[in-house]
Chains A and B, each alone.
Chain A
Amino acid sequence: MTDGIRRLPLALLLAGLTACSQAFYQLGEPLPAAYERDAGGRTLAAVLAELGPPQRLSATPAGFVMGWEHWRIAESGVGISLGFLGADALTVDWGDARVDGDFLLLSFDHGHRVASASRVQWDNDVGGGAAVQPLLGVAPLVDVDDLLRPLPQHGWGASNLLPMPAAQNLPHRPDQGGTGLEQRGTPAGAGQRALELH
């Protein structure tokens, strides 16, 4: 038997013991650089022509507030079995998530002029962890599901069927188009959504 054939089981063993996964998400389109700097006073028509319709929109007592966003999210994970150390039942797992986000918020008065503009851009590590787990990695170490949710417009009608605490909060919920808006990934445990008892 050749060396190659003898090494084959070892290669198979290593392949079965180690795994790496990566997931990349992009949401929306890139926004123009420094748009917020000279946005003040622009007309709604001009803004819509340059940026297209916003992804997020709400009426306000003073007019409208609109949000445009672009996200890049990367999620990585590595798992290694400790079988080669004699601990067949254990795996070591590592995970990490990074977010590159860009969110532009413009408010318009009733005359359809930009009243204020603000923007946040960030490139952050938003989570990660390491674990020793039995057999399979049953506990997720990174979770970006809250950043990947569909835009709230899709749940506009169905939101009336939410559990009672959430349904009662609907008139004030910041994704219904009438009481402001919120950024993607905003925690629900504080602020107006805290009343929904998540």
Chain B
Amino acid sequence: MFRRLQPALLLTLVALLAGCAQYRNDRGVEVNWQPSALAGLSRGETTRADVLARLGPPSQVIASGDETVLYYLNEHAEGEGLLLVLYNRFEVDTRYDRAIFFFDADDRLTDYSTWLRPSDDD
């Protein structure tokens, strides 16, 4: 009788004492620099006002000489944890979605680049 109950008792114990956790954290500006949103950007023609109108205020504005830079950043952290009786394990993966735009003294776009983390579907 007890021998039969022993696995069930252990399973119940593990079920009661084990747990899991998920974690997600986003910091920064809203990510709206998907390729479709940037269609039509053209070096030498697009102005800083155009970019600001499309993407909103950036995380940082940096000036170097006559140049200005708009820098957009969203920091996305995802984590999961396994909480067992004897062992706990956590994994956190932090990725940085970002976009950067350089403008010359006339506020015309000279260079730009974006990066988006691969979606779960990719």
Contacts and interface: CB of A to CB of B under 8 A. Distances in A.
Interface in A16-32: 18-29
A18 B88 CA distance: 11
Interface in B7-64: 9-10, 13, 17, 27-28, 59-60, 62-64
B73 A151 contact: yes
Contact of A64 (B13, B69, B115): B69
A22 B85 contact: no
B27 A154 contact: yes
Interface string A26-43: 111100000000000000
Interface stretch (A46-54, A122-130, A165-173, A188-196): A46-54
Contacts of B63: 59, 178
Interface residues of B, number: 42
B113 A49 contact: yes
Contacts of A22: 87-90
B56 to A, nearest CB: 15
Interface size grouping (class) on chain A: 35 or more
B119 interface: no
If over half of B's interface residues share one DSSP class (helix, strand or loop), that class is named, otherwise mixed; here it is strand
A150 B75 contact: yes
Given A28-B96, A58-B62, A15 B114 contact: no
B89 A154 contact: no
Contact of B73 (A1, A25, A44, A153): A153
Given A8-B9, A44-B102, A48-B100, A26 B3 contact: no
B59 A153 contact: yes
B64 A63 contact: yes
A5 B98 contact: no
A98 B89 CA distance: 15
Interface of A: 1-2, 4-5, 8, 12, 15, 18-29, 44-45, 48-49, 52-55, 57-60, 63-64, 110, 112, 150-151, 153-154, 156, 177-178
10 contacts: A4-B3, A19-B86, A20-B87, A25-B92, A49-B113, A53-B99, A59-B64, A153-B59, A154-B75, A156-B60
A-B pairs, top 10 by smallest CB distance, nearest first, are A48-B113, A59-B64, A52-B115, A53-B100, A21-B88, A23-B90, A53-B98, A177-B62, A153-B59, A4-B6
